[in-house]
Chain A
Amino acid sequence: TQLLEQSPQFLSIQEGENLTVYCNSSSVFSSLQWYRQEPGEGPVLLVTVVTGGEVKKLKRLTFQFGDARKDSSLHITAAQPGDTGLYLCAGGKRLTFGEGTQLTVNP
């Protein structure tokens, strides 16, 4: 079973701060996805990373896939209250999900 560990599980920061969320595994993944979920809604796909070392940017969000394709990170610059939500990484044939990172950005 391919397991994904996310850290931190909870993060509360002030508006304007930067943050990084990590997604780690001992297994190699052909691709990893990052999702964002708001309360009472289904997760929404943010990005898919496929190539080791790949970096993708989505406005203030920067996603990186580790060279060995075992880990990924999500960096948010100048966080805003609208970034508040549950961030999930996922990967593998059976789409294993990490435990999630609950981000709260305070105005």
Chain B
Amino acid sequence: GAVVSQHPSWVICKSGTSVKIECRSLDFQATTMFWYRQFPKQSLMLMATSNEGSKATYEQGVEKDKFLINHASLTLSTLTVTSAHPEDSSFYICSAHSGSVVGELFFGEGSRLTVL
């Protein structure tokens, strides 16, 4: 299947700093990518839809100024957690459609963020 890669896989930062997470589609082009947040033993919560060349669409309750999304190319979307605080600690996952089957998504490996 299609391959989506995230980096870094884990990051620890101090409160108040910003952290950038990258999501790359390695063998296909993705005009749309999705960012999720996941708490332990819970399902995925969609945060935003990243659109190549345009603004991201954020889900209700997600602060767009807090979670900056940039989708500058067809293979790369980035999520920046600005002025991170301990409550932002979570598992962040991205996904993308490969386009071969409607609705099928391929996920990155996830990025574990810990804010001290």
Chain A: minimal CB distance from B114 (Å)? 13
Contact count band on B? 20 to 34
Which of B37-45, B62-70, B72-80, B82-90 is the contact stretch?
A: B37-45
Which of A11-19, A56-64, A69-77, A90-98 is the contact stretch?
A: A90-98
Inter-chain contacts of B41 with A (CB < 8 A):
86, 100, 102
> Do A45 and B106 touch across chains, with their CB atoms under 8 A apart?
yes
Inter-chain contacts of B49 with A (CB < 8 A):
94
Q: Complex Cα distance A44/B110, Å? A: 12
List the B residue with the shortest CB-CB distance to A10: B41
List the A residue with the shortest CB-CB distance to B2: A45
Q: Does A30 contact B (CB under 8 A)?
A: yes
> Do A95 and B34 touch across chains, with their CB atoms under 8 A apart?
yes
CB contact list, A19-46 vs B, under 8 A: 30-31, 33, 35, 40-45
Inter-chain contacts of A35 with B (CB < 8 A):
107
Chain B: minimal CB distance from A95 (Å)? 6
For A, the interface residue count at a CB cutoff of 8 angstroms equals 23
> Do B102 and A30 touch across chains, with their CB atoms under 8 A apart?
yes
CB contact list, B1-37 vs A, under 8 A: 1, 4, 6, 34
Q: Name A41's contact: one of B46, B101, B104, B109 (CB within 8 Å).
A: B109
Query: B interface vs A, CB < 8 Å?
Result: 1, 4, 6, 34, 41-44, 46, 49, 91, 93, 95, 101-110, 112
Query: A interface vs B, CB < 8 Å?
Result: 30-31, 33, 35, 40-45, 48, 86, 88, 90-92, 94-95, 97-100, 102
